[in-house]
Amino acid sequence: MVVVWSKKARLELKKVFNYIALDSLKHAILVRDEIIDLTIALSEHSEKYALDKYKIDNDGSWRAFEKYHYRVSYKITATQIRVVRLRHTSKSPLYYK
């Protein structure tokens, strides 16, 4: 299965990278690359992570994981795994439909 990042999620990852790079380019690259690698691995085992507890009426296709205090939410469909959100865990939880 193919992993696709939404435009919004790609933009958030870019913001994370730029923010961390202000202090350390090395760490910005590390965080970005590890998050990307974890999403790529979803193509082999898409249900590895827990259901997304912030998705209202989750039908089981919405899942999420955290790395470096960033929460990555994704949706599993018949043809793809769509990364829809990247959010720092220090922010208030965002419930969504």
Distance of alpha carbon 68 from alpha carbon 87, whole angstroms:
11
Decide if pLDDT at 40 tops 70.
Answer: yes
Indicate whether 94 belongs to any domain. no
Q: Is this prediction's pTM over 0.75?
A: yes
Decide if pLDDT at 93 tops 90.
Answer: no
Indicate whether 96 belongs to any domain. no
CATH of the domain at 16: 3.30.2310.20
Number of domains in the chain: 1
Indicate whether 95 belongs to any domain. no
Sheet holding 2-5, edge to edge: 2-5, 80-88, 70-76, 62-67
What pLDDT score was predicted for residue 96?
A: 67
Indicate whether 11 belongs to any domain. yes
Decide if pLDDT at 70 tops 80.
Answer: yes
Of 11-15, 31-35, 88-92, where does mean pLDDT reach its minimum? Answer: 88-92
Query: Which domain range does residue 78 map to?
Result: 2-88
